[in-house]
Amino acid sequence: MIKIGGIKRTTVLLTLLTLVMFGFGYALVPLYDVFCEVTGLNGKTGRIYNAEASKLVIDDQRFVTIQFDSNINGNLAWKLKADQKFLKVNPGKFYVATYTVENMINEEIVGQAIPSVTPQIASLYLKKSECFCFRNQVLKPGEKKKLTVRFEIDRDIPKDVESLTLSYTFFRALKDNKRAS
């Protein structure tokens, strides 16, 4: 025979456990972002602002090759292509790279670009002052856009890093997120 008190206690414990698990899951996203920012894992890049940019010193004796990659998540009807396959850059100098994106269906779509850098150590030294990944992108039916990323490689990048890949993957974003034009 089952005791009524045992059922109530089990129900309360399971409800509390569910709430704790939900809270933990909800807190993981910001915790993961902080972890990635501190460690440089996941290929997330840094941001540089105009005041910092004016203090940069260019290393004109060294070159780093950057390969540009583009991907679309399976549920987004867009085409994305880097306008240049690679670029040789001097650490400490700003460069601009462009991508072309096109909406392939007859519906307005909001997309979000997620950057990634390999090797992972290089993500600590790639700084962007302007990037289409900072905001959601809105494309009208059949619309084609040029997207810009302005970046520099920090002079302190390890000498053994002679090349890196900057990759963007676009995902479908929710309509109520911040929109860009």
Residue 179 pLDDT class (50, 70, 90 cuts) = very low
Burial of 139 (0-12, 13-18, 19+ CB in 10 A): buried
Does the predicted TM-score (pTM) go above 0.85? no
In this model, does residue 124 exceed pLDDT 70? Answer: yes
Helix (H, G, I), strand (E, B) or coil at 9: helix
Confidence of residue 33 (pLDDT cuts 50, 70, 90): low
Q: Are residues 160 and 99 in the same domain?
A: yes
Parent domain of 157: 42-172
- What pLDDT is stored for residue 50 in this prediction? 53
Token representation of residue 5: 């008190």
CA 20 to chain centre: 29
For residues 35 and 51, membership in a common domain is answered with no
Q: Are residues 30 and 57 in the same domain?
A: no
Residue 40 predicted with pLDDT over 70: no
**Residue 164's pLDDT is what?**
95
Q: Per the domain annotation, does 178 fall within a domain?
A: no
Q: Are strands 94-103 and 126-131 parallel, antiparallel or unpaired?
A: unpaired
